[in-house]
Amino acid sequence: MQSAAVVGWRWLWVAVLLGALAACAHDPVREPVETLNETTGVTIATLSSPITLVQTGLLAFHKRASFAYLGPVEWNRMGNRRYGLWIHIAPGNDRQVADVREPGAVTLILDDGALDMTPLDPMLLGSEAYSPVVNWGQSVYFSLTVESLRRLGASRYIGLDFRASGQSILRFKPTDDAHAALSDYVNARLGNSG
C-alpha cells in the first residue's frame, strides 16, 4: 500500500504537468511594446524583440553563421502615425553584404512576392526603435504603408535576401514563427481599421 505522501507527490506532479500543458495551449497576443520619446513627443510601438532570421544553405565548418533581424515600427505623434520596418544584418565571418541602404540591396519576400521597400532616414525618427544586435552589422529602416504592413502581417512566408559582395545573394529565413508575431503586431496596431 502506498503512503499518503507518495500519492500526494504524484498528484502534485500531475497538477504541475497539467498547468504546464495549459500554459502551452494558451498563446496570448504579443502586445507591442510602446515607449514615449519625451524629447520628440513620439510614441514608438515595436515588438518586444526583433524576429531572428538565419542564413539558409550549407555553412562550412568553423564558420560563424550570418543572421538578420527585423521588426515593424509605428511612430505616433499625437495621432499622426507612420510605419516602418527595421532590418539589421549581422554577417558571419565568411560573407559580407553590400551597403543595405543601396537600392536593391535588401529584398523582403512574402507569400505574394517581393515587397517594395524604400529606405527611411533614421534621423527623422527621433529615437531608435530597435538596438543593433552586433556592432559590425548594418541597420536600415524602410517605409511601410498601412497596406504593406497588412501584407506583412498576413504573409505566412517571410524571407530576406541581401546582396553580397560580388553580386551573389544571401538568403535568410526565420528561426521561429514570424507569422504569428507579425500578425499579432498588425492586429494590435491596426485592428480592422486601416
40 occurs within a structural domain: yes
Confidence tier at 122 by pLDDT (50, 70, 90): low
- Look at strands 106-110 and 113-115 and give their pairing: antiparallel
Number of domains in the chain: 1
Asked if the structure places residue 21 within a domain, the reply is: no
| pLDDT at residue 84 tops 60 | yes
pTM over cut 0.85: no
What pLDDT does residue 85 have?
Answer: 96
**171 lies in some domain:** yes
Query: 17 in a domain, yes or no?
Result: no
Range in 39-48, 99-108, 163-172 the model is least confident about: 163-172
Per-residue pLDDT at 37:
84
pLDDT band with cut points at 50, 70 and 90 for residue 121: confident
Which CATH number characterizes residue 74's domain? 2.60.40
* Residue 16 counted as domain residue: no
What is the arithmetic mean of pLDDT over 173-190?
92
165: confidence class by pLDDT, cuts 50, 70, 90: confident
The reply to whether 88 falls in a domain is: yes
Q: Of all residues in the chain, what percent carry a pLDDT higher than 90?
A: 43
Computed over every residue of the chain, the mean pLDDT equals 80
pLDDT tens profile 28-56: 445 689 988 888 888 899 999 999 999 88
- Domain containing 84 equals 31-190
pLDDT band at 59 (very low <50, low <70, confident <90, very high): low
Residue 41: its pLDDT value, please? 85
Region 128-138: mean pLDDT is: 87
- Please give the average per-residue pLDDT across 65-70, as a whole number: 90
115 within a domain of the structure (yes/no): yes
pLDDT at 21 over 70: no
Predicted local confidence at residue 1, as pLDDT: 54
At 88, the pLDDT band (50, 70, 90 cuts) reads very high
Q: What pLDDT sits at residue 22?
A: 37
Residue 170 lies in a domain: yes
